[in-house]
Amino acid sequence: MLRNEGERLERVVVCTPRREYARGANEPEKHNIGELGDSVIAVQQHNVLKSTLREFGSEVVDVVELEGHPNSVFVRDTALCTPRGYVKLRLGLETRQGEDGWMAEVLEELGEPCVGEIREPGTVEGGDVVLAGEVAFIGRSIRTNEEGIRQLSGILKMMGYEIRVIELPETILHLDKALMVLGPKQVLYCRDQISEDEIEGFEGVGIFGGGDTTANIICLGDGELIINRSNSLVAGLLAERGYQVHTLDLGEFAKGMGGPNCLIMPIERGA
């Protein structure tokens, strides 16, 4: 069950980049990969991420990459787990379509029921959705379109969510770069993209995004966070506010246009 991404992370799916991620360097523009560095280092960094998740107490399910899909390491985008089961998404990047069916098989093997599906011409990527208790934030982006938002909103409203749609410029790939939860009623947000009215009802920690400074973090729960080491301004700010911050070097995934939150598919969270 997952209703609020600010609660304790109990079960999560990841995908170690053993082979396919490195192949994305062959056609970087096609796969929206900015730069690809050392594949051996990428695996090492991912192993540290998995160890940190396990040390926190999360059950980590490590799945095999989908053949021909270098972006399958970024599992967050492929589905959305909710209080009633998972929503099968339809990804906005053409070369990523097919990852939704791959993740659906994984989740069903883990006992998660399917409670809805985004159908053509709708597109929704998981990085554009943040579940925060009674509120579901959805980013309208270059990857998540109006029809996808309409379909997803209908599914989530039946679960009691208030839908808040946030318009994103083309320079921001996903909502999780501009907004992420820090706890059940706390959010980290980019002041230059999101207004205080849009986060009404939440305690907000505002930052000004740009470069390595981003809201793309992992909330483990109980005041613990995972933040990319290069996102040092945010890591320092949140440490000063009393959060326990795990700073990891995830630089090889930043080169592939992804942050910490992109690398996990949260399945279960609990108070």
CATH (domain of 19): 3.75.10.10
User: Distance between CA 88 and CA 79 in Å, rounded?
Assistant: 5
Percentage of the chain lying above the pLDDT 70 cut: 94
* 79 within domain boundaries: yes
Would you give the DSSP letter of residue 24? G
Tell me, yes or no, whether 71 lies in a domain: yes
Q: Residue 84 is encoded by which pair of tokens?
A: 């009633």
Confidence of residue 39 (pLDDT cuts 50, 70, 90): confident
Contacts of 146 (CB under 8 A, 6+ apart): 140
Residue 86 lies in a domain: yes
Other beta carbons within 10 Å of 24: 22
Residue 9 Cα distances to 56, 64, 114, 150, 271, angstroms:
9, 21, 21, 28, 9
Residue 155 in any domain: the answer is: yes
Strands of the sheet containing 79-81, edge to edge, are: 79-81, 86-88, 114-117
Please tell me the pTM assigned to this model. 0.96
Residue 260 lies in a domain: yes
248-271 average pLDDT score: 94
pLDDT tens readout for residues 198-249? 999 999 999 999 999 999 999 999 999 999 999 999 999 999 999 999 999 9
Number of domains in the chain: 1
Q: What angle do CA 203, 167, 144 make, to 5 degrees?
A: 110
Cα-trace Rg, the chain: 17
State residue 208's pLDDT score.
96
Domain range for residue 121? 8-270
Residue 2 within any structural domain of the chain: no
Cβ pair 13, 267 in contact under 8 A: yes
The count of other CB atoms within 10 Å of the CB of residue 40 is 10
- Is 29 part of a structural domain of the chain? yes
Alpha-helical segments (H) within 24-98: 39-56
Does 203 fall in a domain?
Answer: yes
8-state DSSP, 188: E
